Amino acid sequence: MLKGTKLYSIFYNKCPKCHEGDFFVNKNPYKAGFIKMHDSCPHCGESFNKEVGFYYGAMYVSYGVNIALGIALFVLSVLLLKVDLLLYLFLFTCLVAILFPWTMRISRLIYINLFVKFDSSKK
């Protein structure tokens, strides 16, 4: 993945402006305090707290990510592997519970990348 793309920032936990500083304090989404973010980028100083309630919009992104996961799991398990629908629902519930920290983080990164553009001069 190339620096300067939105996907680089999202998948590598980087600042959407400079792609150098980390967005979250912990790199591991399964450690305590997994949602703790830096107030601003340690490298370029870009503020990650745009306004009060800014990240409420990330809930809608999280919903979309979970729906995409559910559809992918449905196609794989029910349509391709012919798994019972009740087992699919159990698997989906377990998948959502296990991936919750990752989904929260990726949703915030996707959401802020919708509003902040990469600036190559910030390097």
Given this model, what pLDDT does residue 122 score? Answer: 64
Higher pLDDT, 1 or 27: 27
Given this model, what pLDDT does residue 89 score? Answer: 95
CB atoms within 10 A of CB 113: 21
Classify 54 as helix, strand or coil: helix
Position 1 confidence tier, pLDDT thresholds 50, 70, 90? confident
pLDDT tens digits along 40-82: 999 999 999 989 999 999 999 999 999 999 999 999 998 999 9
Confirm if 122 and 9 have CB atoms less than 8 A apart: no
pTM over 0.75: yes
